[in-house]
């Protein structure tokens, strides 16, 4: 019996060890991003800037100044600026910044090379700040808290953290298969409870909104009419089945 206990303790230790190994295995180095963007940049800039549309649904009339953190392809920063919403973007990957500026010259003075852990902005510079997919490559909650604290520091009203939805089984399976060939898909998914609990200590209130719901994505693709989409989204987002959206848009009210 004792042997059995010892064996099961050893196996659960092994399990924990393997779990920790898996936890630290997300690749997030500058070289990883430079290589990933060499493979994926062209495809990303072709995508509909869905995050910009869903963010637009949350903006109030006085939200004049927006920050995108870890913008990568910066196609959302670009869309917001094209709509007349002043948006600055930052990222640590010099290569992707160069690619983004070359693809969209209007981004020239809008995107900056900067680390999200220590941003070169004064307190409360932006009304709203957001990122999409950034938290997917961090296994340490401690690191995430540093990032959230810094995001809160530079923001006045809303922080938006869009993360991959752990409740979407179809998406998890797709990423599991894709990750066999490409590390970009080896990433962290979040449940609504998990992302809420990370943001809660820093915010007055946290709300989780569905991002990339098939029906709304279709509406966006078909109409491009952001004010129409905003009206429909704000009326019906409550009715969405959260398990079907690709991302969760965690919003912290400051
Ligand atoms: C998943 S990509 C973001 C994709 C982006 N939302 C888009 O639609 O193109 C994550 C980005 O985070 C950037 N990144 C990683 N660590 C960073 C840090 N500490 N500060 C700023 N950016 C960082 C990477 O260079 C990469 O471009």
Q: What is the pLDDT of residues 51-102, one digit of tens each?
A: 999 999 999 999 999 999 999 999 999 999 999 999 999 999 999 999 999 9
pLDDT score, position 182: 95
Residue recorded with tokens 């180095």? 29
Q: How confident is the model at residue 243 (pLDDT cuts 50, 70, 90)?
A: very high
pLDDT score, position 133: 98
**Domain ranges in the chain?**
26-253
Specify the CATH class of 26-253 in words.
alpha beta
Whole-number average pLDDT of the chain: 92
Rounded CA-CA distance 178/245 in Å is 19
pLDDT per position as a tens digit, 30-40: 999 999 999 99
pLDDT score, position 35: 95
Contact 90, 67 (CB under 8 A): yes
With b for 16 or more beta-carbon neighbours within 10 A and e for fewer, the 171-182 pattern comes to: beeebeeeeeee
Pick from 204, 218, 199, 211: nearest CA to 237 = 211
pLDDT score, position 25: 72
**50 Cβ closer than 6 Å to some ligand 1 atom:** no
Pick from 167, 166, 160, 164: nearest CA to 254 = 160
pLDDT per position as a tens digit, 140-185: 999 999 999 999 999 999 999 999 999 999 999 999 999 999 999 9
pTM of the model: 0.91
Contact 59, 130 (CB under 8 A): no
**26 Cβ closer than 6 Å to some ligand 1 atom:** no
For the cut 90, the answer to whether the pLDDT of residue 253 exceeds it is yes
Could you identify the atom of ligand 1 that is nearest to the CA of residue 93? 25
Rounded CA-CA distance 84/13 in Å is 55
Q: How confident is the model at residue 4 (pLDDT cuts 50, 70, 90)?
A: very low
pLDDT per position as a tens digit, 6-30: 444 444 444 444 444 445 578 999 9
Rounded CA-CA distance 237/218 in Å is 14
Which of 28, 47, 90, 92 to mutate to test ligand 1, by most ligand atoms within 8 A of the CB atom? 92
pLDDT score, position 10: 45
Rounded CA-CA distance 169/174 in Å is 9
Rounded CA-CA distance 233/236 in Å is 5
**55 Cβ closer than 6 Å to some ligand 1 atom:** no
């Amino acid at each position: 019996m004792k042997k059995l206990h010892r064996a099961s303790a050893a196996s659960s230790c092994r399990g924990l060890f393997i779990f920790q190994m898996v936890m630290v295995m997300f690749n997030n180095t500058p070289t990883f991003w430079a290589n990933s963007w060499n493979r994926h940049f062209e495809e990303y800039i072709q995508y509909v800037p869905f995050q910009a549309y869903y963010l637009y649904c949350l903006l109030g009339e006085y939200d004049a100044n927006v920050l995108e953190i870890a913008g990568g392809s910066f196609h959302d920063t670009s869309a917001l600026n094209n709509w007349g919403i002043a948006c600055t973007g930052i990222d640590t990957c010099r290569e992707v910044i160069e690619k983004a500026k070359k693809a969209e010259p209007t981004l020239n003075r809008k995107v900056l090379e900067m680390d999200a852990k220590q941003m070169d902005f004064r307190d409360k510079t932006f009304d709203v700040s957001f990122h999409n997919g950034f938290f997917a490559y961090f296994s340490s909650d401690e690191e995430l808290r540093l990032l959230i604290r810094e995001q809160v520091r530079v923001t006045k009203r809303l922080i938006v953290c869009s993360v991959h939805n752990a409740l979407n089984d179809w998406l998890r399976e797709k990423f599991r298969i894709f990750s066999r060939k490409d590390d970009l898909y080896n990433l962290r998914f979040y449940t609504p409870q998990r992302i809420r609990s990370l943001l809660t200590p820093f915010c007055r209130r946290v709300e989780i909104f569905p991002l990339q719901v098939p029906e709304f994505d279709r509406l966006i693709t078909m109409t491009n009419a952001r004010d129409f989409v905003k009206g429909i989204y704000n009326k019906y987002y409550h009715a969405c089945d959260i398990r079907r959206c690709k991302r969760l848009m965690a919003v912290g009210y400051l």
